[in-house]
Chains A and B, each alone.
Chain A
Amino acid sequence: MMINGIGVSPGIAIGKARVIKKQEAAFTGIVLLNDADVMIEIEKFRTAVAISITEVEAMIGNYDPSQGTDGMDILEAHIELLDDPQIREDVTEKIATERKNVNDAVIEVIQNAVAMFKSMDDEYMSARAADVRDIGNRILKNLTPFNTTANQAYDADTIIIAEDLTPSDTITMDITRIVGFATQIGGKTSHAAIIAKSRGIPAVAGCGESLQSINDGDIIILDGQTGTIAVNPDEGIIKQYESQREGWLKELELLRLLKDTQAKTLDGVEIKLFANIADAEEMEYALGFGAQGAGLFRTEFLFLGRNDFPSEDEQFEFYKAVALKSKDKPVIVRTLDIGGDKQLPYFNFPEEQNPFLGYRAIRFCLDRKDIFITQLKAILRASAFGNLKIMFPMIANINEIRAAKAVLEEAKNELINENIDYNKAIKVGVMIEIPSAAVMADLLAKEVDFFSIGTNDLTQYTLAVDRMNEKIKDLYDPFDPGVLRLISNVIEQGHKNNIEVGMCGELASDPRATLLLLGMGLTEFSMSASSIPQVKNRIIRSSLDDARKVYEEVMKMDNSKAIINYCRR
């Protein structure tokens, strides 16, 4: 059987399927018929609770005390909630009196408790809803034995099959044994795609529901270039793909050889090729691909997959590790970009109609100055150990950048008072990802040392296309003439005001766009490490004159199809 999706990370993978199922808390509506069934369901509940408690106790046993006591306290509270007589009584009552099965009873009791906490006007208390939900999910998971979760050990050559993967899924995965990813939803910018690309693992997204027909252990061939997946193919097809895979690996090796080649156009213009990274490990990996720095260090990853906000010291160590690993190459540290589609287990973001237009990134940070200043101090401290720059995300107007800079000054003053060293000349920039910021780049340029164009959100906001929505994903198009004009304006205004301009969105890694962007005057490209060689390959074969011609021609075209066709040549 063949399945078609979107190729989001190139390469050929051949391996065995591991299907990751999300615990969907769905009501079954089953009504118990007799007392024997009631006894069985109550017993199932007891067993699931006992397993859950054992699991959390094991987590307490493995707890690293150097992580502070907060995580430990939360685990102990979870034990008490799992063992809570009120919850037990309510669940038993629903089974015995209302004749619900244990699944439905647990869902209802947990939902009620979550609603109760959420309705409290105290922020701390309403955040406890997450704890109740967490223990509820644990019990539900343990009601069905032998279910697959993302946390299990993988065989070698595993291909992960999932509806979608959250950042915390990917954090807990042992990525070394995974050779491919396939997801039902998502596209080039979904988390699984980003992780796969940064590690050079082939991936296909947006495969749709046909992916559900794949079972654990099925032989899977996945082509991350064309987006094709073959399920249990015959010998002939396997042979054919094996030779393709060898070809791909050779090509990869060839491109790796480009690692130490300077990214210079035929007429001698030096271009900076940076990597987008999430931690020190990825920084090291990126250097292996010849990255000359990091154009986007996403700091969110330290904040995910844990139980509380990381302390200043912990953040400092995390940023310092990247600074040291980069060996004085520039690293642009983006301040916290959470909210929207990136949720934290320990902070309750309000439910929103339009999360991408909502309480997130700099808006959240300016509102929660305590969290913001802690991060800024940690970054400043780490700036004493490498060439770090600070970048604020989601800036929409001049007030936000001024307010963010004021908090940065406060952070600096606190460090001066505490007698702690930092780089006094640290550069400050903004991510240009909101159309208003791109349009008024001339005004913003007066406030900062550099721009970095985030094409993913810029495209989504400019074209009013939710990039996660399957139905309209074709409308999401960074080659749209409207988007390209905004990008061109940002580059032009940046140069007029003598500030650096880089690009850290997906477009920077697309070899079809390389000449066009060069022609606009872009000299700094940041992308997933594995894309650097192919972009470099493009640069070293072109001259700035060629690039300018491409730009001029493209600006005459009125639709992205014509533009892409022209750029592809």
Chain B
Amino acid sequence: MISKDYIITSAEGIHARPATALVKLTKNYKSIISIKKGERVVKLNSLLNILSLAAKGGETISIIAEGEDEFVAMEAIEQFFNEHLKDL
């Protein structure tokens, strides 16, 4: 299992468009990937759950990946948070 923290770089936070992109991204990997904000942990495969976190711009969230391809998955997610998110 690996875990990493990210600061949300987009002003609107993780709203519907980036959340949809995250769900789609997660589907490419076998690992179970979760997102944690505060004490709440939800799986990244559910748009409903991601939106329910109401993660806003500037907040810190953690991503937890567990499974055979966890490193590749985390790399893709890292790219998402560091590069793609601000354009979404």
Which residues of A approach B to under 8 Å, CB–CB? 73-74, 76-77, 80-81, 84-87, 113, 116-117, 120, 122, 124-125, 128, 131-132
Select from chain A the residue with minimum beta-carbon distance to B52: A116
A329 to B85 CA separation, bound complex (whole angstroms): 50
Is residue B51 within 8 Å, beta carbon to beta carbon, of the partner chain?
A: yes
Partner of B48, one of A87, A120, A122: A87
Q: Which residues of B contact A120 (CB under 8 A)?
A: 54
Q: Which of A80, A85, A113, A125 contacts B24 (CB 8 A)?
A: A80
- Tell me if B86 counts as interface (CB < 8 A to partner A): no
CB neighbours (8 Å) of A85 from chain B are 43, 45-46
Residues of A within 8 A of B20 (CB): 73, 76-77, 80
The reply to whether A86 and B17 form a contact with Cβ atoms under 8 Å apart is no
Residues of B within 8 A of A124 (CB): 12, 15
Interface string of B1-19 (1 = CB under 8 A from A): 0000000000011011101
Please, how many angstroms separate the alpha-carbon atoms of A310 and B20 in the complex? 23
- A131: B residues at CB distance < 8 A: 16
Q: Does B56 contact A (CB under 8 A)?
A: yes
> Can you name 8 A-B residue pairings with CB atoms under 8 Å?
A73-B16, A77-B47, A81-B47, A84-B47, A87-B48, A113-B48, A122-B56, A128-B51
B6-61: which residues lie under 8 A (CB-CB) from chain A?
Answer: 12-13, 15-17, 19-20, 23-24, 42-43, 45-49, 51-52, 54, 56
Cβ contact within 8 Å between B56 and A77: no
Contact check, B48 vs A84: say whether CB atoms are below 8 A apart.
yes
Which chain A residues lie closer than 8 Å to B15 at the CB level? 124-125
Contacts of A81 in B (CB 8 A): 47-48
In angstroms, Cα B46 to Cα A77, docked, is 11
Interfacial chain A residues near B46, Cβ < 8 Å: 84-87
Interface residue tally for chain B (C-beta within 8 Å)? 20
Q: Nearest chain B CB to A397's CB is how many angstroms away? A: 36
Query: Closest CB-CB distance, A96 to chain B, in whole Å?
Result: 19
* Residue among B12, B19, B48, B49 with most chain A CB within 10 A: B48
Q: Which residues 47-77 of B have a CB within 8 angstroms of A?
A: 47-49, 51-52, 54, 56
- Which among A73, A76, A80, A113 has the highest number of chain B CB atoms within 10 Å? A80
List 6 A-B pairs, minimum CB-CB distance, nearest first: A86-B46, A80-B47, A77-B16, A77-B20, A84-B48, A86-B48
How many whole Å from B29's CB to the nearest CB in chain A?
15
Smallest beta-carbon distance A508→chain B, Å: 44
**Least CB separation from B15: chain A residue:** A124
How many angstroms from the CA of A87 to the CA of B42 in the assembled complex?
Answer: 13
- Are A80 and B23 in touch, CB under 8 angstroms? yes
* Chain B residues near A84 (CB-CB < 8 A): 46-49
Q: Do A132 and B48 touch (CB < 8 A)?
A: yes
Which residues on B sit within 8 Å (CB–CB) of A132? 48
| Cβ distance A211 to chain B, nearest Cβ, rounded Å | 39
B-chain residues with CB within 8 Å of residue A80 when the two chains form the complex: 19-20, 23-24, 47
Among B12, B23, B51, B56, the residue within 8 A (CB) of A117 is B51
For the complex, give the distance between the alpha carbons of A125 and B54 in Å. Answer: 7
With beta carbons under 8 angstroms apart, the residue of A86, A87, A113, A128 that contacts B16 is A128
- In the docked arrangement, what's the CA distance between A8 and B20, Å? 46
Contact residues in B for A128 (Cβ distance below 8 Å): 16, 51
A116, B13: Cα distance in complex, Å: 18
**Residue numbers in A under 8 Å from B47 (CB-CB):** 77, 80-81, 84
CB-CB under 8 A from B51, the residues of chain A are 117, 125, 128
Q: Give the chain A neighbours of B23 by CB distance below 8 A.
A: 80
Residues of A within 8 A of B56 (CB): 122
A122 contacts B54, CB within 8 Å? yes
A87-B46, A125-B54 are known contacts; what are 17 more A-B pairs with Cβ within 8 Å?
A73-B16, A73-B20, A77-B17, A77-B20, A81-B47, A81-B48, A84-B48, A86-B43, A86-B46, A86-B49, A113-B48, A116-B52, A117-B51, A120-B54, A122-B54, A122-B56, A125-B51
Residues of A within 8 A of B19 (CB): 77, 80
